[in-house]
Structure 1
Amino acid sequence: MATPLSMRLPEQDLAIIDRAADLRGRSRTDFVREAAVRAAEEVLLEQSVVRLDPADFEAFKAALDAPPGAVPEMVELLKRRAPWEQ
């Protein structure tokens, strides 16, 4: 079940939202709902708590303190010339 949400916006804000929604081929309502939900999810993810027992925490710290290792796929990718350089 959908619950209505009402807000007052300055004309300038509404014009920007309408232009962006139009570019995405979305209705104003869909565009604003999607943007609001995405922003809310980001805030919630920032507040996530990760709990580790002491042994796992020590392993996590050791992994962070370990010297970085090369990732073969990244090494290969960085050896390639950029498309605009070819």
Structure 2
Amino acid sequence: MATQTQRKDHPLSMRLPEADLAIIDRAARLRGRSRTDFVREAAVRAAEEALMETGLVRMSEDGFAAFMAVLSAPATPVEAMVEILRRPPPWETEREPG
């Protein structure tokens, strides 16, 4: 007798205006994804972002004091960033005739 595998997926139903559905379908096609995969991925990403924004960070008193000391200390230049910021922007550099 064949055993039946129990599905662990849970259905989610939504009512969307036609315009929303059209833009979702267009974006899903551009990504080569099904509508379901596209919407699931977007919803999970948005949920993760929301959770990260409200996540509680716990640390010891010593850890917090060290964290505040770093934030309160004078900024130290990062040489690679200083070099990049000293370069003229691409629209101000002369191009050689090609």
Q: Same fold (TM over 0.5)?
A: yes
1:46 corresponds to: 53
Higher helix content, 1 or 2:
1
CA distance in 1, matches of 2:55, 2:77: 30
For 1:46-65, what aligned pairs fall within 5 Å after superposition?
A: 46-65=53-72
Q: 1:21: which partner in 2? A: 28
Aligned Cα RMSD in Å? Answer: 1.3
For this pair of structures, how many residues does the alignment match? 86
TM-score normalised according to structure 1 size? 0.88
Which structure 1 residue ranges, 4+ long, deviate > 3 Å from structure 2?
81-86
Aligned-pair identity (%)? 66
Structure 1 gap ranges (5+): none
Q: Which residues of structure 2 form unaligned runs of 5+?
A: 1-7, 94-98
Quick one: higher RCO (CA 8 Å, sep 6+), 1 or 2? 1
2:93 pairs with 1:82: no
Please point out which of 8, 11, 22 is paired with 1:4: 11
> What is the distance in 1 between the residues matched to 2:67 and 2:83?
28
If the length of structure 2 is used for normalisation, what is the TM-score? 0.78
Alpha-carbon distance, 1:54 to partner: 1.0
Structure showing greater radius of gyration is 2
